[in-house]
Amino acid sequence: MTPRASASPPAIDDIFRALSDPTRRDVVERLSAGQASVSDLAAPYRMALPSFVAHLRVLEGCGLVTSHKRGRVRTYSLAPQQLKFAEDWLGRQRKLWEARLDRLDAYLLKLKEEKPQ
């Protein structure tokens, strides 16, 4: 058999890895409500600016956020397509699971009907 793991796109690896950090998830939550500058985004954290900027680069690297620079201010926005991609992957697994539970229910109901007590 061929190794199955290679079937998954690397992008989703990076999206889930990016979301595994609480600071990065927090930035995504804040950008859901609207765009923000680096200094606004960095303000709530007790973190050196270069460390915080590294988190922003991880988010931008996997396409969860985009940025543009006007003058000296770089502004970040959420790019919701990648969030949707990860959400859809999770939703597919849940639906498969629910379909399986429905089939199991139907089977148990059929057994019950065939053998009334």
Nearest to 28 by CA among 68, 58, 2: 58
Binding of its own copies by 111 (CB under 8 A): no
Residues 76-95 that bind its own copies (CB under 8 A): 78, 80, 83-84, 86-87, 89-94
Contact 108, 41 (CB under 8 A): no
Taking CA atoms, 22 is separated from 25, 34, 112, in Å, by: 5, 19, 48
Binding of its own copies by 105 (CB under 8 A): no
Residues 27-46 that bind its own copies (CB under 8 A): 28-29, 32-34, 43-46
**Which one, 74 or 86, has the nearer CB to its own copies?**
86
Determine phi and psi for 111, rounding to 5 degrees: -60, -45
**Which one, 81 or 117, has the nearer CB to its own copies?**
81
Distance CA 117, CA 105 (A): 18
Contact 76, 36 (CB under 8 A): yes
**Which one, 1 or 71, has the nearer CB to its own copies?**
1
Residues that bind its own copies (CB under 8 A): 1-8, 12-17, 19-23, 25-26, 28-29, 32-34, 43-47, 78, 80, 83-84, 86-87, 89-94, 96-98, 100
